[in-house]
Amino acid sequence: MAFHYLKDALNHSPQWYRAHCSAEDGGSPALRAMLKVDVRILDCDDKKMCYEEKVGLYEDEWNDVLAGKSTVVSVTELEEVLQRDGVYENSPAELYSKPPFTQFARLMKKEGLSTTDLDAYLKWKAKDDNLKKARAAKATKRKKSGKDDPPLTLEPFFVTSRRRQPLPEL
């Protein structure tokens, strides 16, 4: 499967490139292609620099757009890129300060549960759910194959050579 990136719009923020581009060669070909597009759009391309240095130029131009010193792209376009990168939506402070996580915190406090108790419950719940899935998959497989397990009988385990005799009456 080919990797797709935007050719006429910004792909990622400078923070994203800092996190993913740790080598002078720019890392993967897809990452290099995305960075080339982004520096071309912000008009800060310098062919003599390595990819790490290009990220620095890109960040400087990005900050100039945010400060209003450059009008190459709009601030709303930069915000869209940040939302796509998950800078706003996926930060722990942003994510865990909304329901249902606030409800978890209130319920834990009300019931006197610690995070250790919650962790133990979540592990147990995951194991229980996996067991139910495995049983359902096994039942489905058995139903599809048309083979039912033979009924269990205890007779073969208790057959002896000596037959049981009634007790004499007293």
pLDDT for 3-13, tens place per residue? 567 788 888 88
Q: How much is the CA Rg of the chain, to the nearest whole Å?
A: 32
Ordered by start, the domain boundaries in the chain are: 14-95, 101-144
pLDDT for 71-115, tens place per residue? 888 888 888 888 877 755 556 666 677 778 888 889 999 999 998
**Tokens 């497989």 appear where?**
141
User: Is this structure's pTM higher than 0.85?
Assistant: no
Element containing residue 84 per DSSP (H, E): helix 75-85
Token representation of residue 87: 């800078």
Backbone dihedral region of 43: left (phi > 0), alpha (psi from -120 to 50 degrees) or beta? left
Element containing residue 147 per DSSP (H, E): none
